[in-house]
Amino acid sequence: MGKSDIEDLLTRLTEVEELMRFPSVGSHVERAIRLSLSIARTGRSTAVIEAAMKLVRALELFKHERPPLHADERVLQQAIGRLRNALGSESTLRK
């Protein structure tokens, strides 16, 4: 996976973060799930794939909680952070 591929995945993750600023909009959560799945499908390293799938699970839990609980928000932010770190590690390995 080249640098531009990783930048594309980071762009998708940034969009997930932006969508989750207003999670009460159902379509935002659905789009965030689709983006996270696309990262999992495109990722090459096990760390990226696993982190993306954990984010998908966190988003699915978040989607089904109404109203969302604060604990779910923390889990969601942790999952985003783990994926960002995995992508960052992937990026440094490619330099």
Segment 53-89, tens digit of pLDDT = 999 999 998 888 765 566 678 888 999 999 999 999 8
Give mean pLDDT, residues 4-29.
90
What SS3 state is found at 67?
A: coil
Give the residue ranges of DSSP H helices in the chain: 3-19, 26-42, 46-64, 70-94
Q: What's the structural domain count of the chain?
A: 1
pLDDT over 60 at 95, yes or no: no
pLDDT over 70 at 93, yes or no: no
Residues contacting 72, CB < 8 A, separation 6+: 58, 61, 62, 65
Token duo for residue 19 = 């969508």
What SS3 state is found at 20?
A: coil
